[in-house]
Structure 1
Amino acid sequence: MVDIIKYITRQSHKPLILIPVILMILSLLYLGAFGLNEGVDLKGGTMVTVELKQSMTESQITDLVQSNLGVSDVKTSLSGNTATITISGNVDQANFDQKFSNQFNILSFRSVGALLSQAAMDQIVYALLFAFIFMAITVFFVFRDLVPSAAIVLSALCNISIAVGSMSLFGIPLSVASVGALLMLIGYGVDTDILLTTRLLKRHAGDLDDRAEGACRTGITLTFAALASMVVLFVVVKVFIPSAQVLEDISAVLIMGLLSDLLSTWLMNLGILKWHMERGGHN
């Protein structure tokens, strides 16, 4: 770990900047080509929680619902004798109960219409947009230097782009829960970026490489601690609470985002700041 940190902070920083930039471009290209699945909260659909009257697997439940309702987009999460079934499109509760009265007891039945879905999507766009705007204003007010401020915003944008591209790659739907995780990523990513920028620009003890190494040690330790907790949460939910799909999605998005934050902060942002200061910036 120490050798890696010294290499990152003391070797040529320009080639390292390209790594997160290339990953960001690839993520955006993949996202543009394959799109992003929307959760039932956003695209509309039906979520049913049922009690099984007979032992069935997740795939058996999914096949049964698909064949009886004539729909293709069905996801099932099973926990003990309770299953949560997510169906794309609106389904009539009376019709569902009639078709599956021999297999299920309905515990809850929730439909999300297209109007609510559009409103939710608009709120998500506004939330992410205002998060970036106020972040940029706050960072510029603190450092009063355009390059470090732009580097922090670019780093956060790179972080989110890679995380969203990973969501598309691994089939994690865009939902209210995953958007909350993305907003948390913005906050965490800015924290590590400000830690780095403050160490390099505001402190003067030691040379530039020493300050960069100290910031890198602290930041990577914090990120690995957060990453370990998210991995534990993901494993616990996956193994012991498979019905908690919201927690699984949040932890998965945060894991991918924390990994991308390591690259965007300690390769790209660090490289930009060192280049800026070596050229006489922020004197």
Structure 2
Amino acid sequence: MINYITRQSHKPLIVIPVILMVLSLLYLGVFGLNEGIDLKGGTMVTLDVNPSTTSNQITDNIEKTLGVSDVKTSIDGSTATVEIPVDINQVTFEQKFSNQYNILSFKSVGALLTDASITQIIYALVFAFVFMAATVFFVFRDIVPSAAIILSAICNLSIAVGGMSLFGIPLSVASVGALLMLIGYGVDTDILLTTRLLKRKEGSLDDRAENACRTGLTMTITALSAMVVLFLVVIIFIPAASVLEEISAVLIMGLLSDLLSTWLMNLGILKWHAERGGKH
């Protein structure tokens, strides 16, 4: 497989991540992305429940009684954490549920990131991409590697966010942090590839591509394995740790998309550029 990617049909492979990116953006545009309670605000309640009670039973009961939707419940032993995406009056909640559950805590969660803050995050991401491109251009003195790295990072994020929409992972403080980590990791593998391909002189272009691919795949698969283990541990043993679940899920999708965007698209673009007389 590595031999096929690095030595043979690299041009057609560029299309695969591009198609996935377009499909992800289309899906995101149609179905949107849910916002977590820490972004849009709401109510968080901790309940002491019967160990035989399931999260679906609690969710259905609260949604029907309060007339709300998108309630999320996680249970750890006899403790249930309920997230309600609207502001609920504490007295009203206690009147309706005090006979059914022992209410351990009740708090209204204000929106942590306002629209202005989200706009600033977008600006920060844009500036990060611009400065990354400028740095790469300064190092390699070539516009194509700079553009390839930016395109790869955009592709990586687009597929990851599309996966979040597909699997119902909300945009929260945890998932935003995971997406920011993906930018750093994706650029890291892209820089590795670009350096090996365009800066080093040992061996042929295909040899350098294969060497970079083996190193990069080892790095990504190692990180991916760690995230899969973390995700399974959280799901099986500590289901109440929703933050860890969201971070690991986003990173898993992002690392998978990084494999495609770096070793299919970016590698193909750089080899095509080098074969056409680019700097190498």
Could you say which TM-score interval applies, normalised by the shorter chain?
Answer: over 0.9
Residue of 138, 143, 147 corresponding to 1:141:
138
Query: 1:231, 1:93 → 2: CA distance?
Result: 39
Distance between the aligned counterparts of 1:25 and 1:222, measured in 2? 27
Specify every segment of 5 or more residues in structure 1 that has no aligned partner in the other structure, as ranges: none
Give 2:102's aligned amino acid: N
Picking from 162, 182, 187, the partner of 2:184 is: 187
Distance 1:149 1:182, change over 3 A: same
The 5 A counterparts of 1:189-228 are 189-228=186-225
Which amino acid counterpart does residue 24 of structure 1 have in structure 2? M
Gapped runs of 5+ residues in structure 2? Answer: none
Pair 1:14-2:11 in alignment: yes
Structure 2 partner of 1:70: 67
1:99 aligns with 2:96: yes
- CA–CA distance in structure 2, aligned partners of residues 100 and 79 of structure 1: 19
| Larger mean Cα displacement after TM superposition, 191-200 or 50-59 | 50-59
Q: 1:145 to 1:107 in 2, by over 3 A?
A: farther
Q: 1:159 to 1:207 in 2, by over 3 A?
A: same
Sequence identity percentage? 76
C-alpha separation in 2, matches of 1:236 and 1:172 = 18
The answer to whether the Cα contact below 8 Å between 1:53 and 1:102 also exists between their aligned partners in 2 is no
Indicate how the Cα distance of structure 1 residues 13 and 54 shifts in structure 2: closer, same or farther if over 3 A, else same.
closer
The 5-angstrom pairing of residues 114-263 of structure 1 reads 116-263=113-260
Question: Quick one: distance in 2 between partners of 1:126 and 1:91?
Answer: 34
Q: 1:16-95, aligned counterparts within 5 Å?
A: 16-52=13-49, 55-95=52-92
One-letter identity of the residue aligned with 2:31: F
Match of 1:275 in 2: 272
Distance 1:204 1:90 in 2: 62
Tell me: CA distance 1:174–1:116, structure 2 relative to 1, closer, same or farther (3 Å).
Answer: closer
CA RMSD of aligned residues (A): 1.6
Normalised TM-score (structure 1): 0.94
Distance (whole Å) between structure 2 residues aligned to residue 42 and residue 82 of structure 1: 24
State the alpha-carbon separation in 2 of the partners of residues 126 and 50 from structure 1: 40
Aligned-partner SS, 1:89: coil
Q: 84-93 vs 118-127, which deviates more? A: 118-127
Q: Cα deviations across residues 186-235 of structure 1 (Å, max 9, x unaligned)?
A: 00000100000000111000000000000000000110000000000000
Give secondary structure in 2 for the equivalent of 1:48. strand
Asked whether the equivalents of residues 36 and 174 of structure 1 are also in contact (C-alpha less than 8 Å), the reply is: yes
Measure, in 2, the Cα distance between the counterparts of 1:108 and 1:154: 46
| Cα distance change, pair 115–243 in 1 and its aligned pair in 2 (3 A) | closer
Is contact 1:44–1:117 with CA below 8 Å preserved after alignment?
Answer: no
Distance 2:179 2:113 in 1: 21
Runs ≥4 residues deviating over 4 A: none
Residues 41, 117 of structure 1: 8 Å contact kept: no
* TM-score, with length taken from structure 2: 0.95
Q: How many Å separate the matches in 1 of 2:250 and 2:145?
A: 27
Amino acid at match of 1:224: I
C-alpha contact (below 8 Å) 2:38/2:112 kept by paired residues: no
In the TM superposition, residue 131 of structure 1 has moved relative to its aligned partner by 2.7
The corresponding residue for 2:263 is 266
8 A Cα contact 1:50 1:106, kept in partner: yes
Cα offset, 1:136, TM superposition? 2.1
Aligned-residue offset at 1:153: 0.6
